[in-house]
Amino acid sequence: MAFHIAVAGKGGTGKSTLSALIIRYITEEIGKPVSAVDADPNASLGSLLGLHVQNTVADLREDIVEKKVDFSGMSKDRYIEYAIEESILEKEKFDLLTMGRPEGPKCYCYVNNLLRKYLDKVGTTYPFIVTDNEAGMEHLSRRTTNNVDLLLIVSEPTIVGALTLQRILALADSLPVTIRQKFCILNRVPRNGIHENLQQKLSSLGIEIAAIFPFDQEVYDTAACGASVFEISRENELYQKLGKFLQKHLPASMLEKSVSGSS
Q: How many domains does the chain have?
A: 1
Confidence of residue 86 (pLDDT cuts 50, 70, 90): confident
CA distance 148 to 183: 12
Give every CB contact of residue 25 below 8 A, 6+ residues apart in sequence.
239, 242, 243, 246
Nearest 5 degrees, angle CA 242-CA 154-CA 219? 50
Give the pLDDT confidence score for residue 263 in this predicted structure. 42
Quick one: average pLDDT of 159-186?
Answer: 91
Residue 227 has pLDDT above 80, yes or no: yes
Name the CA dihedral angle for 10, 11, 13, 17, rounded to a multiple of 10 degrees.
Answer: 120
Residue 188 has pLDDT above 70, yes or no: yes
Name the CA dihedral angle for 183, 195, 223, 34, rounded to a multiple of 10 degrees.
Answer: -10
Give the pLDDT confidence score for residue 141 in this predicted structure. 55
Give every CB contact of residue 164 below 8 A, 6+ residues apart in sequence.
9, 10, 155
Q: Report yes or no on 32 lying in a domain.
A: yes
Q: Report yes or no on 260 lying in a domain.
A: no
Q: Report yes or no on 87 lying in a domain.
A: yes
pLDDT mean across residues, the chain:
86
CA distance 35 to 221: 27
Q: Report yes or no on 161 lying in a domain.
A: yes
CA distance 134 to 16: 10
Residue 70 has pLDDT above 90, yes or no: no
Give the pLDDT confidence score for residue 39 in this predicted structure. 83
**Percent of residues, the chain, with pLDDT higher than 70:** 84
Quick one: average pLDDT of 100-120?
Answer: 65
Confidence of residue 239 (pLDDT cuts 50, 70, 90): very high
Confidence of residue 133 (pLDDT cuts 50, 70, 90): confident
Q: Report yes or no on 188 lying in a domain.
A: yes
What are the φ/ψ torsions at residue 170 (nearest 5 degrees)?
Answer: -65, -40
Q: Report yes or no on 263 lying in a domain.
A: no
Give the pLDDT confidence score for residue 31 in this predicted structure. 96
Give the pLDDT confidence score for residue 71 in this predicted structure. 67
Give the pLDDT confidence score for residue 199 in this predicted structure. 96
Residue 82 has pLDDT above 50, yes or no: yes
Domain region containing 75: 3-254
Quick one: average pLDDT of 30-56?
Answer: 91
CA distance 246 to 7: 13
Residue 261 has pLDDT above 50, yes or no: no
Q: Report yes or no on 77 lying in a domain.
A: yes
CATH number at residue 19: 3.40.50.300
Q: Report yes or no on 135 lying in a domain.
A: yes
pLDDT (tens digit per residue) in 196-220: 999 999 999 999 999 999 999 999 9
Residue 42 has pLDDT above 90, yes or no: no
Distance set, CA 200 to CA 28, 153, 184, 197 (Å): 38, 19, 16, 5
Give the pLDDT confidence score for residue 237 in this predicted structure. 96
pLDDT (tens digit per residue) in 135-154: 666 666 554 556 899 999 99
Confidence of residue 244 (pLDDT cuts 50, 70, 90): very high
